């Protein structure tokens, strides 16, 4: 049993070696490494697809919850507007609500990611667990930005509805 390094351009040597000594078993590690890298790439793509589906599902749930509370929100906003509140006040309160909701969801996502990666590093790969401090900033900011954008788009019509029509029940 032995091992040796053979540059890629001298792979023809293996054919001659195997034809002269047919009982030799040659295992090309570079081919195995390429196959493992290919499998890891496919698994990574699958995880990224699942992540995209989860984010899209979360956005759809947010839109559904906005639509479910649409009538109550319209009455509340119409009442605030009737009592002298400006549209900017309503937009600001909605923006704050969605930003805080997004920041919390980003924070929960970071905690879940850090725990999962730490367990994989320590239990599966037997490596020391490393913290990722940039995630603790990026996760809540990305969550806040995404939820803020989707939430503000979903409530755009609520802010622009005339209060008199909403309170009369015609809209």
Return the DSSP state at 83. Answer: T
pTM of the model: 0.68
Whole-angstrom CA distances from 154 to 67, 101, 112, 149 are 8, 15, 27, 9
CA proximity to 158, closest of 82, 86, 71: 71
What are the pLDDT digits (tens) for 18-69? 888 888 888 888 888 889 898 888 988 888 888 888 888 888 888 888 888 8
What are the pLDDT digits (tens) for 95-144? 998 999 999 988 998 888 888 888 888 888 788 888 888 889 998 999 89
Query: Which percentage of the chain shows pLDDT scores above 90?
Result: 9
| pLDDT confidence band for 153 (50 / 70 / 90) | confident
The torsion region of residue 84 among left (phi > 0), alpha (psi -120 to 50) and beta comes to left
């Amino acid at each position: 049993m032995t091992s040796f390094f053979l540059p890629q351009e001298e792979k023809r040597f293996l054919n001659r070696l195997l034809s002269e000594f047919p009982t030799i078993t040659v295992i090309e590690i570079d081919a195995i490494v390429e196959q493992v890298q290919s499998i890891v790439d496919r698994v990574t793509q699958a995880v990224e697809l699942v992540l995209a589906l989860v984010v899209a599902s979360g956005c759809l749930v947010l839109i559904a919850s906005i639509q479910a509370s649409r009538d109550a929100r319209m009455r509340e906003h119409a009442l605030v507007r009737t009592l002298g509140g400006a549209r900017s006040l309503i937009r600001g309160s909605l923006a704050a609500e969605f930003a805080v909701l997004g920041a919390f969801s980003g924070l929960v996502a970071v905690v879940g990611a850090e725990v999962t990666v730490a367990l994989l590093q320590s239990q599966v790969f037997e490596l020391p667990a490393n913290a990722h401090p940039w995630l603790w900033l990026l996760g809540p900011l990305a969550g806040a930005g995404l939820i803020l954008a989707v939430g503000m788009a979903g409530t755009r019509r609520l802010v622009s509805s005339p209060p008199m029509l909403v309170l009369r029940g015609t809209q």
